[in-house]
Structure 1
């Protein structure tokens, strides 16, 4: 068994060489984590690194499960009993924005819903069901809407091109653009226009979530619940809080959206 610890900081070349040796020799490659209080840096393995072999993914899963069990023997047994996440994450389906990975939290810590361009549509029963379960049954205290710069859905919504069924889904984004059209001046570059709509979209989804009877019932019951708006930068790996938090009916974008008297 070949091991790397966080303190060793192996190079990319060493990691790839170790993966190849592990595959050819049938040995296990383990990244040792000294303490749960230390930052966990996942091994950046690509599908191509393992020969695009699904059987290899199953083997890597066993390595992962065994490594977790070695550190905390009762981890999976405890997780099988129940989940108690404090956060509901509504993010984009983009494969480069995995919720748990970018905030370094483990299984059971975040309840996740993802769709194209991280939208919350009031007629989307899937999203509404996720919200209701998270708020009323899991008792989450934070709802994070996370968009990301360079979002393909956002970029597509700012064109007149046809992309298929997704065109209907992107109409909501076009509405956000239309509502804020005066902000999209000719001085803005394409990248700046995209970034602006990414932030405006996150803001709109925060307001959409806050306008639901699900969230307002929680507030009326005295539950601690806040809706946040974040944006992720693919180029730096950093998250940005765009300061659009809503934690009471008084902070709704307009009192016309108040549904609980």
Structure 2
């Protein structure tokens, strides 16, 4: 067995000792159950760990991650996570967080083949198509890439708002709020895109479900 895998286990021990030093009862309380206020839908990129970049402890954020933080309506894994978060855990906020420099977004902007991944990248390409007029007008490739990361997040926020059981929650009150954020690998800061939804009012009529 390689030494690198052992580093993970050693790191776990150090982390447990550090947590217990600060709060001896932390794990006893954690084992009793979870009541996170947030659901995080992020990219699988190893450089964007939700709890670390927000300086929160285990139990604070329920997490779903995939390549390029996509909300795909045929993804039963994601929908199951969202359903559990909303219906059982009663999270108040859902954050869709992309990141600048996202490899999945970059790949989807190209015409290169990536084998099996092309099936997933089609969903990201659809987001490009929906925003092609704005993106194609941006001459600088890096600027276009960064803007597409932002627009892709907004598309996924909208996709989430189209989910029927989320709209059921809005029929009962204001929560959950869905927020669009982008994380920068260069400085570690989160950019709030100022794009937040907590109703189906901004959706096209065909995507709205009746409360009846």
TM category (shorter chain) comes to over 0.9
Bigger Rg over Cα: 1
Tell me whether 1:209 sits opposite 2:160 in the alignment: yes
Q: Is the contact made by 1:233 and 1:239 (CA closer than 8 Å) also made in structure 2?
A: yes
Bigger RCO of structures 1 and 2 (CA < 8 A, at least 6 apart):
2
Give the Cα separation in 1 of the matches to 2:107 and 2:43. 14
Give the Cα separation in 1 of the matches to 2:5 and 2:92. 37
Tell me whether 1:244 sits opposite 2:198 in the alignment: no
Q: Where in structure 1 are there 5+ consecutive unaligned residues?
A: 1-50
Q: 2:20 aligns with which of 63, 69, 77?
A: 69
Q: Is the contact made by 2:174 and 2:199 (CA closer than 8 Å) also made in structure 1?
A: no
Q: Is the contact made by 1:213 and 1:260 (CA closer than 8 Å) also made in structure 2?
A: no
Residue equivalent to 1:103: 54
Give the Cα separation in 2 of the matches to 1:176 and 1:187. 16
Secondary structure of the equivalent of 1:236? coil
Tell me whether 1:260 sits opposite 2:206 in the alignment: no
Q: How many pairs are equivalent?
A: 210
Give the Cα separation in 2 of the matches to 1:140 and 1:94. 24
Provide the alpha-carbon RMSD of the alignment: 1.5
Give the Cα separation in 1 of the matches to 2:11 and 2:129. 47
Give the Cα separation in 2 of the matches to 1:188 and 1:146. 25
Q: Is the contact made by 1:91 and 1:117 (CA closer than 8 Å) also made in structure 2?
A: yes
Q: 2:177 aligns with which of 213, 226, 244?
A: 226
Secondary structure of the equivalent of 1:183? helix
Q: Is the contact made by 1:148 and 1:198 (CA closer than 8 Å) also made in structure 2?
A: yes
Residue equivalent to 1:189: 140
Q: Where in structure 2 are there 5+ consecutive unaligned residues?
A: none
TM-score of the superposed pair, with normalisation by structure 2: 0.94
Counterparts of 1:30-69 in structure 2 under 5 Å? 52-69=3-20
